[in-house]
Structure 1
Amino acid sequence: MKFIALCFLISLLVLFNTKPLQGAEPETVVDKQGNPLLPGEGYYVFPLWGDNGGITLGHIRNKTCPLAVIHNPEAIGSPVFFSASGIDYIPTQTDLTIEIPILGTPCNEPKIWKFFKVGVNLWYVGTGGRRGDLASKFKIVRLNVEYAYEIYSFHYCPSDRRRPFCAPLGFTYEADGTPVMAVSDGIEPYYVSFQKVSTFAQKKNQDLSSM
């Protein structure tokens, strides 16, 4: 019953209020086990509706670079790393550097998240970012409804007066069906939970060296 109530409340929130709470105080982001997210540790980012795939990097539109942040429904995705200056734990409502350090790709640019424009009022999230750059400042925002303590979304809303806009990240689809993380009108927030890579491997008895 709690899960059904949560789904209903989230549906209402998506319909009527997809903006982050104004003036909300930062709090520690926690994983699915209730443990604080740590800088320098890898985490899988799972969608709210079960462990149905995860996020990783991929090529779009026949371009080598930048890589785009995509959702792969067939796999657990790639480890994601979060960092910010002078912190011991990853907080909400705080500018973060987010990175998916995949090796062995023909794209040699940094794997730090960055916005790039691909159309009118459409921005994709891809690689090539730089720590401290305006286009590479993302936030984690907790879903503020009952029973949603471990549910979050990503936002582009840098704590900088130069910010061009403030919006949640969701997914849109390329012509070939590839889901790409983006910001645009009408895109719903992508609600997620976090699973520390090491604890997921122990739970599933998987060999991370093969991923």
Structure 2
Amino acid sequence: MKTIILFSLAFIFAVNSAPAPAPVLDTRGNYLRTGGGYLLIPLEGLVGGPYVTDLGKKSCVPGVVLSYNDNDGVPMTFTPVNPKKGVIRLSTDVNIKFSYSDSCSESNVWRVQYDKGMKQYAVMVGGVEGNPGPETLDNWFKIEKTNDGYKFVYCPSVCSYCNVTCSDVGIVEDKEGLRRLALSDKPFSFVFFRTY
């Protein structure tokens, strides 16, 4: 009996003392922090950062697109699944939220939604911040390291029994010529620049 208790305590200690995933860094080498404002600076010769635009013809459809000009896009904040954690870490669930948007009066929180015109899942706004679970599965992303920067991955782990197909977030040009953020096998690579 003592052996079982000691083994159980050793297991619990080992699980709880596992090292935390590495922190995500901005362009100055500082940790990404909860509530800080960051611009995404694209790599691979792309210009412009992400922003929200109305994609609808009859009703408002707020989608996340990448600018074609040298506009830096809209600053965003990141909130981890545990909002008390002040540092954003690799491979952990986060909400991504634009600091502001004038499109459609929706929530500025990113979410994944199927786009019938594109015939694939795209990044939209209108998500729910916090409240991890099956109802908010579409609102959680992870930040992963690339060779020279970072990428977003849709692979939420906020629901242990939910069936999720994981995918990188990439850039897909739609029929209107907009560079949309969407689930793709070619990731969008970028770095974080802190604005506030």
TM-score class normalised by the smaller sequence: 0.7 to 0.9
| 1:165 matches 2:165 | yes
The residue aligned with 2:85 is 87
Report matched runs for 1:173-192 at 5 Å: 173-184=173-184, 187-192=185-190
Aligned-residue offset at 1:109: 2.0
The residue aligned with 1:13 is none
Report matched runs for 1:24-39 at 5 Å: 26-39=21-34
Q: Which runs of 5+ in 2 are unaligned?
A: 1-19
Task: Report which of the two structures shows the higher radius of gyration computed on alpha carbons.
Answer: 2
Aligned-residue offset at 1:56: 0.8
Contact residue 172 and residue 179 of structure 2 kept, 8 A: yes
Contact residue 51 and residue 76 of structure 1 kept, 8 A: no
Output the CA distance in 1 between the equivalents of 2:29 and 2:35.
Answer: 18
The residue aligned with 2:16 is none
Output the CA distance in 2 between the equivalents of 1:116 and 1:103.
Answer: 18
Contact residue 66 and residue 128 of structure 1 kept, 8 A: no
**What secondary structure does 2:151 align onto?**
strand
Task: Rate the CA distance shift 1:163–1:141 in 2: closer, same or farther, 3 A.
Answer: farther
**What secondary structure does 2:164 align onto?**
coil
| 1:73 matches 2:76 | no
Report matched runs for 1:21-170 at 5 Å: 26-49=21-44, 52-62=47-57, 64-74=59-69, 75-84=71-80, 85=82, 86-105=84-103, 107-119=104-116, 122-131=120-129, 132=132, 133-143=136-146, 145=147, 148=148, 151-159=149-157, 160-161=159-160, 162-170=162-170
Aligned-residue offset at 1:137: 0.7
Output the CA distance in 2 between the equivalents of 1:195 and 1:51.
Answer: 16
Contact residue 37 and residue 99 of structure 2 kept, 8 A: no
The residue aligned with 2:195 is 197
Aligned-residue offset at 1:63: 5.4
Output the CA distance in 2 between the equivalents of 1:27 and 1:155.
Answer: 16
Query: Once the two structures are superposed, what CA deviation does each residue of 1:146-181 show, in whole Å capped at 9, x if it has no partner?
Result: xx3xx1000000113314210100011121210111
> Which structure has the highest strand share of the two?
2
Contact residue 101 and residue 108 of structure 2 kept, 8 A: no
**CA root-mean-square deviation:** 2.1
Query: Once the two structures are superposed, what CA deviation does each residue of 1:35-81 show, in whole Å capped at 9, x if it has no partner?
Result: 11111111000111357211111111425533111000211100011
Task: Rate the CA distance shift 1:166–1:191 in 2: closer, same or farther, 3 A.
Answer: same
Contact residue 156 and residue 164 of structure 2 kept, 8 A: no
Output the CA distance in 2 between the equivalents of 1:51 and 1:197.
Answer: 20
